[in-house]
């Protein structure tokens, strides 16, 4: 383990966080809010610690998969530990455990909140909650790679450990260029959504917060009734479309920008993703038709909730916990499916679901024709055995963590539906669940122990499980010989 390199990268991460903390401080200064002092103090603390940790560059700057996974996990943990300080220092969330839960939920783009009255927060804290979504959506390590030449070719391990999905590929020969392209597309879509929301009459502060929360597929709102506050088909429609767009693999946008439209549209994962959204919207729209005034309105709310859940954003325009059992069942299933690999969405990912079904079909064909030789293909390319193996291992680890988390929550928490959907909502980075964690409720009633379990689930879900699991392996911490 190259400890000195891990320390060096943690220092740079703290420096970057200190810069982001200055944004809500500036908003507080402009609004005359004293909460800005908490952000200023935290930014200064992060900068000081970052300088002390990164001032001496390691002689050996080489690191491999182990260091990459550990660095990513530790960076996200330290990011949350320090990012929670402004809430506590300002007194807006007095309990550090609650503040940490809120911050982890923000950075992991989960959107599960412990707050019962979001509107009581200062503008600085509201912006910081949304900003954590935006930073966590694409990944702070990806941002670091975009602005700093850190570790040569070995920095690919950082991107692989932080990027969602079963595989990560470069968009250009240089990894730093790849990171810059990803953040360029991410920033461009965020700005475009902000402009469209402004054109619909949304106030500037609201539009910026909504766009950042949508871009990170996070779901923190600045109003207690989430997106239902904006009683506008246009505004809710824009957010629905952009939730879907941010759930698409960003490499497809690169193909479109380089005029390779046909290659992008041939993506099997994209077709499955859009097909599931369309089918779920129609079924739920028909199922809840009687609850709304017209078929158009029911389809509008169905599309919004389907887009919000499958992309693991977590916004709401209606209390879907009151919808019929069929609709709720579909929405819970969408929590597990998730968005596309290489997007800002969470969940198992559509690509893994596809590979799982292809593997089942291949096994059935083998049982019928034992002498046949068949291979799984995705987008016309052969799927390597290592990819199939990693998907299978991921699903096993996912189920073990899910089952253990539900059991741990059941020690103290009230009912199975609440426990099951709370774990589903946090491990898949969705946000709201059902019953006591439904869209009109919050996670504040959980005990510190249960919150610790859910915080681990949020981090594990965002980092694709293994970076967090490796922290508990003694072999991870052995020094290189």
Confidence of residue 412 (pLDDT cuts 50, 70, 90): confident
Which residue from 188, 186, 189, 206 is spatially nearest to 197, judged by alpha carbons? Answer: 206
Confidence of residue 156 (pLDDT cuts 50, 70, 90): low
Q: How far apart are CA 394 and CA 344, in angstroms?
A: 19
Query: Are 460 and 427 in contact, with CB atoms under 8 Å apart?
Result: yes
Query: Are 125 and 34 in contact, with CB atoms under 8 Å apart?
Result: no
| Mean pLDDT, rounded, for 201-225 | 94
Secondary structure E strands in 103-218: none
β-pair partners for 377:
382
Q: How far apart are CA 125 and CA 236, in angstroms?
A: 24
Confidence of residue 68 (pLDDT cuts 50, 70, 90): confident
Residue 399: pLDDT over 50: yes
Q: Please, what is the Cα angle at 91 between 89 and 94, to 5 degrees?
A: 95
pTM comes to: 0.92
Residue 181: pLDDT over 90: no
Which residue from 444, 450, 441 is spatially nearest to 93, judged by alpha carbons? Answer: 444
Which residue from 264, 312, 278 is spatially nearest to 108, judged by alpha carbons? Answer: 312
Express as a percent the part of the chain with pLDDT over 90.
63
**Kind and range of the H or E element at 265?**
helix 261-265
pLDDT at residue 197, as a whole number: 97
Q: Which residue has the higher pLDDT, 256 or 152?
A: 256
Residue 227 has a CB neighbour count (10 Å cut-off) of 24
User: How does the average pLDDT of the chain come out, rounded?
Assistant: 88
Q: Which residue has the higher pLDDT, 472 or 383?
A: 472
Helices (H), 219-349: 233-246, 250-257, 261-265, 268-287, 295-310, 325-337
Residue 448: pLDDT over 90: yes
pLDDT at residue 457, as a whole number: 96
pLDDT at residue 148, as a whole number: 59
Interval 339-384: pLDDT, tens:
998 888 889 999 899 988 888 888 888 888 887 777 777 777 787 8
pLDDT at residue 168, as a whole number: 47
């Amino acid at each position: 383990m190259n400890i000195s390199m891990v320390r060096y990268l943690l220092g740079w991460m703290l420096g970057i966080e200190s810069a982001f903390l200055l944004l809500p401080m500036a908003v507080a200064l402009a609004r005359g809010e004293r909460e800005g002092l908490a952000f200023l103090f935290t930014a200064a603390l992060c900068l000081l610690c970052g300088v002390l940790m990164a001032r001496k560059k390691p002689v050996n700057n080489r690191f491999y998969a182990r260091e990459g996974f550990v660095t990513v996990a530790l960076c996200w943990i330290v990011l949350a530990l320090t990012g929670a300080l402004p809430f506590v220092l300002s007194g807006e969330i007095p309990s550090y455990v609650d503040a940490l839960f809120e911050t982890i939920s923000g950075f992991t783009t989960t959107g599960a909140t412990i707050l019962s009255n979001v509107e009581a927060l200062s503008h600085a804290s509201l912006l910081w909650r949304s900003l954590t979504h935006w930073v966590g959506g694409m990944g702070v390590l990806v941002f670091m790679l975009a602005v700093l030449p850190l570790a040569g070719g070995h920095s690919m391990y950082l991107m692989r450990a932080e990027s969602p999905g079963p595989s990560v590929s470069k968009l250009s020969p240089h990894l730093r260029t790849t990171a810059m392209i990803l953040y360029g597309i991410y920033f461009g879509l965020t700005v475009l959504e902000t402009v469209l929301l402004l054109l619909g009459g949304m106030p500037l502060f609201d539009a910026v917060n909504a766009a950042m929360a949508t871009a990170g597929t996070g779901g923190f709102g600045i109003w207690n009734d989430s997106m239902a506050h904006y009683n506008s088909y246009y505004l809710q429609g824009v957010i629905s479309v952009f939730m879907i767009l941010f759930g698409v693999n960003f490499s497809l946008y690169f193909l479109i920008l380089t005029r390779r439209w046909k290659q992008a549209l041939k993506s099997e994962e994209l077709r499955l993703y859009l097909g599931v959204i369309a089918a779920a919207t129609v079924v739920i729209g028909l199922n809840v038709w009687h609850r709304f005034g017209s078929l158009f309105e029911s389809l509008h709310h169905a599309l919004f909730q389907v887009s919000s859940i499958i992309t693991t954003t977590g916004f709401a325009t209606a209390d879907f916990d009151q919808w019929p059992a069929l609709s709720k069942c579909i929405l819970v299933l969408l929590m597990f499916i998730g968005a596309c690999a290489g997007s800002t969405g969470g969940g198992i990912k559509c690509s893994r679901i596809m590979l799982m079904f292809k593997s089942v079909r291949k096994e059935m064909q083998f049982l019928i024709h034992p002498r046949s030789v068949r291979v799984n293909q995705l987008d016309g390319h052969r799927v390597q055995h290592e990819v199939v193996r990693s998907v299978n291992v991921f699903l096993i680890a996912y189920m073990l963590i899910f089952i253990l988390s539900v059991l741990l929550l059941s020690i103290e928490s009230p009912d199975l539906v609440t426990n099951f959907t709370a774990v589903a909502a946090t491990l898949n980075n969705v946000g709201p669940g059902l019953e006591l964690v439904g869209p009109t409720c919050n996670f504040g009633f959980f005990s510190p122990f249960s919150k610790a379990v859910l915080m681990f689930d949020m981090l594990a879900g965002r980092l694709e499980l293994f970076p967090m699991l490796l922290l508990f392996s003694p072999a991870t911490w052995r020094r290189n010989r």
